Amino acid sequence: MGLVGDALPSMAFNTLDGRLYPHPTHERITEPGIKAFTEDFLSGRVRPQRASQTRREAEQAAAAAARDGADGLLEITFDTFNDICLDTSHDVLVLYYSSAAQVSKDLWPYFRRVVQRFRALNITSLRIGRYDVSKNQLPNRLEIENFPAIIMYPANDKEPPFRLFHGKAQVRPIMLWAQETASIKFAFENDTPHLDAEQREAYIVQIKERNERVAEKRAEERKARAARLDKEAGKRSGKRSKSSSGSNSKDDL
């Protein structure tokens, strides 16, 4: 017992209550590795393999995401994690979320837009998926304190520490971070990859109008300041004239 897939040799902890704790199949079995795996198991960091969505459940979730506008999003499960995320031919961007948590629901519209934009830009080197932690145990060697969380698995570096997104949870910051951390480099056509052509045109118009308003306001402020300075200068000149007139009157006496 404890074999996962066709990989040999393999090992796992089998508990009396029927739970299975397999050694990661993508890692070689070595003496230091066995020691680390045992320590992780005894400390509770290894979770049972059975906590995974079925293939049917994953397909249904992916279909629901596609209907919601995230066509092409991969629904990753504990059982499919290695095949998808540890694939060295692709960079893989993953949203770890809980389908029952409101904070995850709040992030979803932004992440959905990330999926849409990368698909529209035809960046095929980057695969994007999501992982429901309420239905799947966390992958081995992955520790996340807060959810939702976004992690990049670069094509040329699938080892921990994994790259965790710490920026503002909006479309453009996520896309730029993905571009920066990906192993297989790609370029965006402009600095607004989160916008399509129509949205970018509207954005440029808005920026132009805003800059014009700012310029007008600054011009008005400069004009008002100049008027105040002229007024103050006039008052000072008037005071000097009165003072000079008073001095002349005394001299005449």
Instruction: Answer yes or no: is pLDDT of 178 > 90.
Output: yes
Q: In the CATH hierarchy, which top-level class contains the domain 55-194?
A: alpha beta
Beta bridge partners of 95: 130, 150
Instruction: Answer yes or no: is pLDDT of 170 > 80.
Output: yes
What pLDDT score was predicted for residue 1? 33
Domain boundaries along the sequence of the chain: 1-49, 55-194, 195-235
What pLDDT score was predicted for residue 203? 76
Beta bridge partners of 127: 92
Instruction: Answer yes or no: is pLDDT of 116 > 60.
Output: yes
SS3 readout for the chain: CCCCCCCCCCCEEECCCCCEEECCCCCCCCHHHHHHHHHHHHCCCCCCCCCCCCHHHHHHHHHHHHHCCCCCCEEECCCCHHHHHCCCCCEEEEEEECCCCHHHHHHHHHHHHHHHHHHHCCCCCEEEEEEECCCCCCCCCCCCCCCCEEEEECCCCCCCCCEECCCCCCHHHHHHHHHHHCCCCCCCCCCCCCCCHHHHHHHHHHHHHHHHHHHHHHHHHHHHHHHHHHHHHHHHHHHHHHHHHHHHHHHHC
What pLDDT score was predicted for residue 182? 97
- Tens digit of pLDDT for each residue in 59-86? 999 999 999 999 999 999 989 999 999 9
Closest by alpha carbon to 145, among 164, 128, 158? 164
What pLDDT score was predicted for residue 50? 63
CA distance 165 to 182: 12
Average pLDDT over the chain, rounded to an integer = 85
CA distance 63 to 143: 28
Our measurement of the distance from residue 153's CA atom to the centroid of its chain's CA atoms, rounded to an integer in Å, reads 13
Query: Between the CA of residue 206 and those of 158, 189, 196, 201, 238, what are the distances in Å?
Result: 42, 20, 15, 9, 48
